[in-house]
Chain A
C-alpha cells in the first residue's frame, strides 16, 4: 500500500527537550511538507522540501528544524526554542518538484503534548 506514515501517533515533550517527528512516504513524491494545526485552526506551513538535500522555511519555521537526506523521509525536530509546541503536526507530500499546485496527500498526524 502506498502512502505516508507518521510516527509516533502521540509524543510527549519535557521542557527544554528536543523531539523528532518522523514522516515517511513510499509514493515516490519529490516534495514533502510539514504543517502545524492548532485546535479549531487551519493548517500553517512550517517547512517544505522540493528535492533531496534542499528545504525551505514556511510561515512558522522558528523553533523547528528539518532534514531531507532521503527522498522518502522528511523528519521534523521540535527544538527547545519552540515555546508553544503543543499542536497536531501533519506531514504531506506531492508529486511534482517546485509546484504547489500538485495535490498534497497527508499522513495521519502526530499529536505533540508538553509535560
Chain B
C-alpha cells in the first residue's frame, strides 16, 4: 500500500490564482515526520518544510502555507497568488520514527501559466 498518496498528477493554474496540493499519508506510528520538497526543471529537490506528528499547527511562510490534519491523515500545501516560478514538481514525503527510510509520493506537477 502507498504510504504517501498525491492524487493530483498535474495541475495548471493561471498566475495569481491560489492552488492547493494534496497529500494523504498512511502510518501506524504515533511519531512521524512529514516533508514537502520542490523539484524545479533543473532537477534538484529543494526542501520546503518538515513537520512532526505532535505539531498540528498550520504554518505559513510567505505565499506558502501548510495544513496538517491528523484526523484525515493529510498534509496539504497551498500556494497563494501563484507565480510562474512556482512551476515545478512537488513531492510530499513521510518518515516514521520506527522505520528507516523516507516514503515519497509520486509528485504533483504544477504549471503556472502567465
User: Given contacts A100-B99, A101-B33, A103-B50, are A43 and B104 in contact (CB under 8 A)?
Assistant: yes
Q: Which residues of chain B have C-beta atoms less than 8 A from A43's C-beta?
A: 45, 91, 102, 104
A88 to B89, CA, bound (A): 14
User: Given contacts A42-B106, A42-B107, A101-B33, are A109 and B43 in contact (CB under 8 A)?
Assistant: yes
User: Given contacts A100-B99, A101-B95, are A42 and B43 in contact (CB under 8 A)?
Assistant: no
User: Given contacts A100-B95, A100-B100, A103-B35, are A41 and B106 in contact (CB under 8 A)?
Assistant: yes
A58 to B107, CA, bound (A): 20
A56 to B101, CA, bound (A): 11
Residue of B nearest to A108 (CB): B44
- From DSSP, what is the main secondary structure of chain A's interface residues? loop
Chain A residues touching B, range: 20 to 34
In contact, B45 and A42 (Cβ under 8 angstroms): no
List B25-45 residues whose CB lies under 8 Å from chain A.
Answer: 32-33, 35, 37, 42-45
In contact, A88 and B43 (Cβ under 8 angstroms): yes
B3 to chain A, nearest CB (A): 11
New contact pairs (20) apart from A48-B100, A100-B96, A108-B44, CB-CB < 8 Å = A40-B9, A40-B107, A41-B106, A42-B91, A42-B107, A45-B101, A56-B100, A58-B101, A88-B43, A90-B45, A100-B100, A100-B101, A101-B32, A101-B97, A103-B35, A106-B47, A108-B42, A108-B43, A109-B43, A109-B44
List the 10 shortest-distance A-B pairs measured between CB atoms, nearest first.
A106-B45, A42-B104, A109-B43, A42-B106, A101-B33, A108-B44, A43-B104, A101-B95, A100-B95, A103-B50
